[in-house]
């Protein structure tokens, strides 16, 4: 995982370059990392199965002011079959994600577990399979647990959620302006499932980012993460209401 001859600067550059979501790190975190003098990396947790290989690494940096800063790296990929009888199934291409907060890394790990759960995969592109996909994606979620809002730089969190949206109909400047008054938030994974899209495996996860505003009102962003893209890459879409998010997931199972 690490090169003993690699400098801290080279190590950090390598992590940021390969992470799919490095742009999502808070600007203040990246600025502080620029003063790193030394680092230490260790394996925090791992999960290996026939459909998912996941590892979480903890990278701790000693900064010039004497403080320490930790990045959490999530490395994951599906299993890749091999026709060589002398070899076991090997991991497929790996994807890397970086998080400045351990809880965010846990949510991301749970997202993968939800996308590659032990629930049976949907069938081929038959009419009944399409109906099953539609039924599950559009089903009403179970009654949610009470929200436990956390005041944790929530306005910046909202900004980062909106910034990573790749859909053209994502909430616009009016919503962004409203969320500048957010002082607490709560993230809930509403849905996570693996299914077949256009003959390929694709994972879908739906999150609700609920925000508590300064005037006491509440509002939410609905984030869809999926791999139903032509090249199988990870994609984020953000919507202003749950129905639109579920309809987007449903449409993604038909159009690739």
- Its pTM stands at 0.48
CA–CA dist 184, 197 (Å, integer): 37
| Residue 154 contacts residue 183 (beta carbons within 8 Å) | yes
The predicted structure's pLDDT at residue 120: 33
For every one of its 256 residues, what pLDDT tens digit does the chain have, with 9 covering 90 and above? 455 567 888 889 999 999 988 888 888 999 999 998 888 888 877 777 667 788 888 898 888 888 889 999 999 886 544 444 444 445 467 889 999 988 888 888 877 765 433 333 333 334 444 444 444 444 555 455 556 787 788 999 999 999 999 999 999 999 999 999 999 998 888 877 767 767 777 788 889 999 999 998 999 999 998 888 888 788 899 999 999 998 988 887 764 3
CA–CA dist 105, 70 (Å, integer): 12
């Amino acid at each position: 995982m690490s090169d003993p001859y690699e400098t801290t600067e080279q190590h950090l550059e390598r992590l940021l370059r390969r992470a799919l979501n490095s742009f999502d790190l808070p600007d203040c975190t990246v600025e502080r990392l620029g003063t790193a003098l030394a680092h230490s990396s260790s394996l925090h947790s791992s999960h290996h199965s026939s459909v998912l290989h996941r590892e979480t690494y903890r990278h701790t940096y000693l900064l010039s002011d004497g403080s320490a800063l930790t990045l959490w790296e999530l490395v994951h990929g599906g299993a890749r079959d091999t026709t060589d009888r002398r070899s076991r199934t090997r991991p497929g291409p790996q994807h890397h994600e970086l998080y400045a907060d351990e809880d965010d890394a846990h949510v991301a790990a749970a997202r993968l577990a939800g996308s590659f759960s032990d629930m049976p995969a949907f069938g081929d592109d038959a009419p009944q399979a399409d109906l099953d996909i539609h039924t599950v994606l559009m089903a009403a979620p179970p009654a949610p647990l009470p929200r436990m809002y956390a005041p944790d730089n929530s306005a910046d969190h909202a900004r980062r959620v909106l910034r990573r949206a790749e859909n053209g109909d994502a909430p616009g400047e009016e919503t962004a302006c409203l969320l500048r008054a957010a002082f607490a938030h709560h993230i809930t994974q509403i849905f996570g499932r693996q299914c077949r899209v256009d003959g390929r495996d694709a994972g879908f996860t739906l999150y609700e980012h609920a925000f508590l505003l300064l005037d006491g009102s509440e509002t939410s962003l609905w984030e869809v993460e999926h791999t139903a893209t032509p090249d199988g890459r990870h994609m984020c879409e953000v919507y202003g209401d749950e129905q639109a998010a579920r309809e987007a997931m449903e449409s993604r199972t038909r159009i690739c």
